[in-house]
Structure 1
Amino acid sequence: MLERIRDLGPVVLVPAAWAATAASVLGALGSDGMLIAHAVMVMFITFFAVTGWSAMSDGAFRAWRLVMVVGIPVTLAGLAGFFVPEFDRLLFSVSLVGWMVLPAGGLAYTGREVAPARRLYFLTAGLSALGAVVATGGLLAGEQGVLLVGIAFVGVGQTVGIADASYRDR
């Protein structure tokens, strides 16, 4: 059962996280909801890292283990933004852009390691990286629509990548 949760959980959690992020940008999910989302993300990422540590010691899994290890403090930065209001924008931005860039690297590395799906993973990495650039531009310009386009690119890229990885790992 634990292995099934580890395999299928990210397929649900990744698109849910980006949907929640978009909902927050649109004002449909308030700060309490995002605070809870960050706390839950820290718990899930830690759970996946700890329970899957030995299974992620080689191949493409090594990159994802690193993504999770670095992702925990990145997520904690976002969580800290709720408690350190004088740095909230910076901390939220670090968390947001961090979770756009980290998986882009993991997807690119996966493309190197998984030859049959190389193009798919490079494409999904590219979508995530492009989304990070677009979203950062939206953040810097204060343009909500541009930020949402970046989030959409990232959400699609990461969801397709994780869904394919889950399918291949069965």
Structure 2
Amino acid sequence: MLVEIRDLGPVVLVPAAWLAAAASIRGHLGSEGMLIAHGVMAVFIAFFAVTGWTAMSEGAFRAWRLVMVVGLPVTLAGLAGFFLPSTERLLFSVSLVGWMILPAAGLAYTGRELPDARTLYFSTAALSAVGAAVGAGGILTEAETTLLVGIVLVGVGQTVGIADASYRDRAGV
């Protein structure tokens, strides 16, 4: 059961996280909801890192282990923003942009490691990187629509990438 949660959980959690981020930007998910989301995300990242540590020691999985190791403090920065109001904008931005960039790097590394899927992973990495640039621009200019476009691009890129990775892993491809 734990292996299935570890293998399939990200396919649900990645798009859910980006939908929650977009809902928060639009004012449909309050700070309490986002506080809970950050806490849940931190727990799941730790769970995935601990239960998959050995399995993620080779090939493309090495990059994803590093994404989680770096991603946990990035997530905790966002969590800290709820308790440090004087720096909340900075901490929320670090968390949001960090989670836009980290998986883009993981997708690019995966493309390098899987020649048969290179086009898919390089494309999803590029879509995520463009989304990160657009999203960061939206944060800097305080343009909500621009930030939302960035979130959509990142969400699509990361969701397609993680869905394919899950399929390949489960199919032994």
With normalisation by structure 1, the TM-score equals: 0.99
The residue number in structure 2 matching 1:130 is 130
The residue number in structure 2 matching 1:47 is 47
Q: Please list every run of 5 or more consecutive structure 2 residues that lacks an aligned counterpart in the other structure.
A: none
The residue number in structure 2 matching 1:84 is 84
Paired amino acid for 1:112: R
- The Cα shift of 1:12 comes to 0.2
The residue number in structure 2 matching 1:33 is 33
Distance in 2 separating the partners of 1:97 and 1:77: 11
Deviations 1:88-138 (A, max 9, x none): 000000000000000000000000001111000000000110000000100
Cα RMSD after superposing both structures: 0.4
Distance in 1 separating the partners of 2:126 and 2:89: 26
Paired amino acid for 1:16: A
Distance in 2 separating the partners of 1:48 and 1:10: 9
Paired amino acid for 1:15: P
Q: Please list every run of 5 or more consecutive structure 1 residues that lacks an aligned counterpart in the other structure.
A: none
Deviations 1:57-110 (A, max 9, x none): 000000000000000000000000000000000000000000000000000000
- The Cα shift of 1:2 comes to 1.3
Distance in 2 separating the partners of 1:3 and 1:76: 25
Distance in 2 separating the partners of 1:29 and 1:72: 22
Q: Show structure 1 runs of 4+ deviating over 2 A.
A: none
With normalisation by structure 2, the TM-score equals: 0.98
